[in-house]
A and B are shown apart, each in its own frame.
Chain A
């Protein structure tokens, strides 16, 4: 069985029913997040902890050459903290999919007349909703401590959309890993890779302050560019370049990761 021959890919299946199924799967994954706060609280708490640490430890660094003009380190750190939280959260989404496979729920879904694609898209939609929520949560949580969005309410909306897009993009990779391995342990094992992608970027310090090979890696790391787009909205204002970087870079990563996840799903179905 593959995607093309799945029951709901038959002529009888309508676009409307596919959307309904995707929406039902999305609701399930969103409720799963809301009902198991212990799984997601770390991805909300840790970035805030790092933001608080950074604000105290690195505040004097904002005067260094290469640092953007900011009122406080928190203004600079917000974008990095959002991306950090969203990446942590994307592992949780992939782990949930792998757990569905381990527990046999995935097989029950396959046995039902459910669109195969909606199983994956539903999971990613849940990740997107949580990513957007994280972006909003971090921004609101840090506002009492002086963080402001230079791009205003529209900028905040773009930041939230960017959070959702980043979650979808990296959720696609963890979903692909879940579908490939069927092991929640293996998906959790991917966490260091995301950690490396995050640290070898400008998420925590500007690229302009880095040197040598480290700078070269940060220059080509797409995470640097999506963080800088979001950061630009926070510290500079609403510009087309900032919006494009904040939305299009994660969208491009998402196109790759979702294609990979769909192909992995297809391979998994074909091997059954």
Chain B
């Protein structure tokens, strides 16, 4: 066993990539084999985009609102919510694998430890690309309009993958530490709060009071700004860099959190 692990730990980079793709492939195959488990994660953001843009249609009439299409405002938010929860879903899947013992079998296999993290992350990114593509398609059919073409689409995907990475890193870190469903509520609540304590519902210049104070310093506000540019005007570096920095820093920190959690799990 120890020989196997040492071989695994010394596996070359190609080995990491190969096993990561293998682990990711297992997750991706479940989309085909068990679509009923995947559809809700796509339907929820679609519902959110339609419900929010219909319910809050009138907020576009508030002076200073940056668009006259409520779908343009809420569609990127729905993409990011769906992507963040796709990342959290990874944590839930990992908890199930931990509880069922499948994760122990992965750990016993001559698998590079890094691929236990990278594999699920790759599958999450794949799911997010499908999710964002479908949600954007529906949103555009329901009245959303791009204002900066392909570049506007690109920033949504970048922001969505970034939020998914943060959600995945955070959720995996909690899953490795708790090892059971106690972590589930914490995963979901923190992501929910992180996303809603921002300019999620209205722009900073429209909101008032305590939320404005929090949203102004919440880095996720920058990620939302990055995602929304292509629906509110032109994509500019000024509105992009803050989001990119937030993704790099928070994505890096949450993945580090996951990696240290995995290391602790291996030491148990």
A interface list, Cβ under 8 A from B: 52-61, 64-67, 192, 195-196, 199-200, 204-205, 209-211, 214
Known: A59-B208, A210-B54, A214-B54. 14 other contacts (CB 8 A): A52-B210, A52-B211, A56-B210, A56-B211, A61-B58, A64-B59, A192-B40, A192-B44, A199-B51, A199-B55, A205-B55, A205-B57, A210-B55, A214-B57
Give the CA-CA distance A56 to B43 in the complex, in Å.
Answer: 28
Contacts of A192 in B (CB 8 A): 40, 43-44, 47
Contacts of A196 in B (CB 8 A): 47, 51
In the complex, residue of chain B having the shortest beta-carbon distance to the beta carbon of A212: B54
Stretch at the interface among B120-128, B172-180, B199-207, B228-236: B199-207
Interface residues of B in 2-54 (CB under 8 A from A): 40, 43-44, 47, 51, 54
Q: For the complex formed, measure the closest distance between the CB of A223 and the CB atoms of chain B, giving whole angstroms.
A: 12
- Secondary structure type dominating chain A contacts: helix
**A56-B209, A56-B211, A59-B209 as given contacts; A211 in contact with B57, CB under 8 Å:** yes
Q: Is the CB of A209 within 8 A of B209?
A: no
Q: Is the CB of B55 within 8 A of A58?
A: no
Q: Is the CB of A61 within 8 A of B211?
A: no
In the complex, number of A-B residue pairs with CB atoms less than 8 Å apart: 69
- Give the interface size class of chain B: 20 to 34
Q: Is the CB of A205 within 8 A of B58?
A: yes
**A59-B208, A59-B209 as given contacts; A53 in contact with B201, CB under 8 Å:** yes
**A58-B201, A58-B202, A196-B47 as given contacts; A210 in contact with B208, CB under 8 Å:** no
Interface residues of B in 196-223 (CB under 8 A from A): 196, 201-202, 206-212
Give the CA-CA distance A64 to B65 in the complex, in Å.
Answer: 13
- Secondary structure type dominating chain B contacts: helix
Most chain A beta carbons < 10 A, residue from B43, B44, B56, B206: B56
Contacts of B109 in A (CB 8 A): none
In the complex, residue of chain B having the shortest beta-carbon distance to the beta carbon of A204: B55
In the complex, residue of chain B having the shortest beta-carbon distance to the beta carbon of A208: B58
Give the CA-CA distance A206 to B249 in the complex, in Å.
Answer: 41
Q: For the complex formed, measure the closest distance between the CB of A213 and the CB atoms of chain B, giving whole angstroms.
A: 8
- With an 8 A cutoff between CB atoms, is B62 at the interface? yes
Q: Is the CB of B57 within 8 A of A210?
A: yes
Contacts of B208 in A (CB 8 A): 56, 59-60
Contacts of A59 in B (CB 8 A): 207-209
In the complex, residue of chain A having the shortest beta-carbon distance to the beta carbon of B53: A214
In the complex, residue of chain A having the shortest beta-carbon distance to the beta carbon of B64: A60
- With an 8 A cutoff between CB atoms, is B61 at the interface? yes
Contacts of A53 in B (CB 8 A): 196, 201, 211
Give the CA-CA distance A115 to B212 in the complex, in Å.
Answer: 56
List 7 tightest A-B contacts by C-beta distance, closest first.
A56-B211, A214-B54, A209-B58, A199-B51, A57-B201, A56-B209, A57-B202
Q: For the complex formed, measure the closest distance between the CB of A234 and the CB atoms of chain B, giving whole angstroms.
A: 19
Give the CA-CA distance A65 to B57 in the complex, in Å.
Answer: 12
**A56-B207, A58-B59 as given contacts; A200 in contact with B212, CB under 8 Å:** no
Contacts of A199 in B (CB 8 A): 47, 51, 54-55
Q: For the complex formed, measure the closest distance between the CB of A89 and the CB atoms of chain B, giving whole angstroms.
A: 17
Contacts of A54 in B (CB 8 A): 201
In the complex, residue of chain A having the shortest beta-carbon distance to the beta carbon of B209: A56
Q: Is the CB of B196 within 8 A of A60?
A: no
Most chain B beta carbons < 10 A, residue from A52, A60, A204: A60
In the complex, residue of chain B having the shortest beta-carbon distance to the beta carbon of A55: B209
Contacts of A205 in B (CB 8 A): 55-58
In the complex, residue of chain A having the shortest beta-carbon distance to the beta carbon of B63: A60
Q: Enumerate 26 A-B pairs (CB-CB under 8 Å) in ascending A order.
A: A53-B196, A53-B201, A56-B207, A56-B211, A57-B202, A58-B56, A60-B62, A60-B206, A60-B208, A61-B62, A64-B58, A64-B59, A67-B58, A192-B40, A195-B47, A196-B47, A199-B51, A204-B55, A205-B56, A205-B58, A209-B58, A210-B55, A210-B57, A210-B58, A211-B57, A214-B57
Give the CA-CA distance A65 to B207 in the complex, in Å.
Answer: 18
Give the CA-CA distance A214 to B47 in the complex, in Å.
Answer: 13
In the complex, residue of chain B having the shortest beta-carbon distance to the beta carbon of A203: B55
Give the CA-CA distance A58 to B43 in the complex, in Å.
Answer: 26
Contacts of B202 in A (CB 8 A): 57-58, 60
Q: For the complex formed, measure the closest distance between the CB of B161 and the CB atoms of chain A, giving whole angstroms.
A: 26
Give the CA-CA distance A199 to B209 in the complex, in Å.
Answer: 25
